[in-house]
Amino acid sequence: MFLEKHLVEDAVVARFDLAKQVIKTAGELALDYFERREELVIETKAEPQDVVSIADKNVEQIILRQIQEAYPKDNFLGEEQGILKGDNDYLWVVDPIDGTSCFVHGMPSWCISIALMQADKIAFGLVYDPNADELFTALSGNGCQVNGKAVKALNIDSVQAGVMGVGTSHRVSSTHCLHFLQGLLDEGGMFIRNGSGALMLAYVAAGRLIGYYEPHINSWDCLAGLILVQEAGGSTNRFLENDGLLEGNSILVSAKKIHHQLDHFTRM
């Protein structure tokens, strides 16, 4: 892929190249655990639907080790590890397995998500689906690619023109999601939830879904997906406002021309 080097610093391009290798290695390890998943001990976190296994922890560690070897001064935020302070303005934001519930129950809709923040901007994002061997990548200013091939968000002007991804969790009241679904369905729209917010965001970037909404999502679930959608020409809400990085926030991304209408469905 030709990169307009004047738009992206060499230091960011070097990290992007590393991230592409790291996410593939992590994907191989995760897939190996997935194929032996009956051996995994499953633990629950704050609430019963929030599950985690040794696969999540070890895949994150392998990602962290490779980043630290190459860039010991970079900051790191991983779902399992939490925050590790470094000594510069790069921050890696990692979800080792997004869609853990699907993973442990034998469904293939899970992925790995890696993003790099440089100060307050997302510099790049990658989502890797090892089952489909699909790598979604976006480097700021250089478009969005799936396995190296350029993709675009849909160019549609009606919510009836395709399927909307919707997610929710027990971190927030069910009323937000139900209110959104009512607005969408009443306008003739349709929805899907595959259990991986990161993968559904990547699908919006690839023009497979018309958008994605979730009333609360964490930064490790969505930073990579946000830049994928932006670079694919879609619209995104201001997720990082109000400390979205550390506290999470609501997320709405979509094809450009329907964003306003979808945003209206989120208003209670």
Tell me which residues in 77-106 interact with Ca ion (CB under 5 A). 79, 95, 97-98
H helix intervals, the chain: 10-35, 54-70, 100-104, 174-186, 197-205, 219-231, 244-247, 259-266
| Residue type for position 265 | F
Residue 57 C-beta: closest distance to ligand IPD, Å? 12
Nearer to ligand IPD, 140 or 211 (CB): 211
Binding residues for Ca ion, rule CB under 5 A, total 5
Q: What is the Cα–Cα distance from 84 to 252, expressed in whole angstroms?
A: 28
Query: DSSP state, 37?
Result: G
Closest Cα partner for 198 from 176, 179, 221? 221
String of contacts with Ca ion for each residue 187-226, x by CB under 5 A: ----------------------------------x-----
Q: What residue 75 binds from Ca ion, ligand IPD, none (CB within 5 to 8 A, per partner kind)? A: none
Q: What is the Cα–Cα distance from 220 to 95, expressed in whole angstroms?
A: 5
Residue 159 C-beta: closest distance to Ca ion, Å? 26
Nearer to Ca ion, 16 or 220 (CB): 220
Q: What angle do CA 261, 174, 260 make, to 5 degrees?
A: 10
Strands 75-78 vs 82-84: parallel, antiparallel or unpaired: antiparallel
Count of Cβ atoms closer than 10 Å to residue 243 Cβ: 10
- List residues near ligand IPD by CB under 6 A: 95, 98-101, 167, 169, 195-197, 214, 217, 221
Nearer to ligand IPD, 44 or 147 (CB): 44
| Residue type for position 214 | E
Residue 200 C-beta: closest distance to Ca ion, Å? 11
Q: What residue 118 binds from Ca ion, ligand IPD, none (CB within 5 to 8 A, per partner kind)? A: none
Q: Measuring CA to CA, how many Å separate 217 from each of 51, 85, 201, 250?
A: 16, 22, 12, 6
Phi and psi at residue 123, to the nearest 5°: -85, -35
Q: What residue 230 binds from Ca ion, ligand IPD, none (CB within 5 to 8 A, per partner kind)? A: none
Nearer to ligand IPD, 44 or 160 (CB): 44
Nearer to ligand IPD, 183 or 195 (CB): 195
Nearer to Ca ion, 75 or 169 (CB): 169
Residue 12 C-beta: closest distance to ligand IPD, Å? 26
Nearer to ligand IPD, 49 or 88 (CB): 49
Q: What residue 245 binds from ligand IPD, Ca ion, none (CB within 5 to 8 A, per partner kind)? A: none
Tokens of residue 122, six digits: 């997302």
Q: What residue 214 binds from Ca ion, ligand IPD, none (CB within 5 to 8 A, per partner kind)? A: ligand IPD
Phi and psi at residue 255, to the nearest 5°: -60, 145
Sites of contact with Ca ion (CB under 5 A)? 79, 95, 97-98, 221
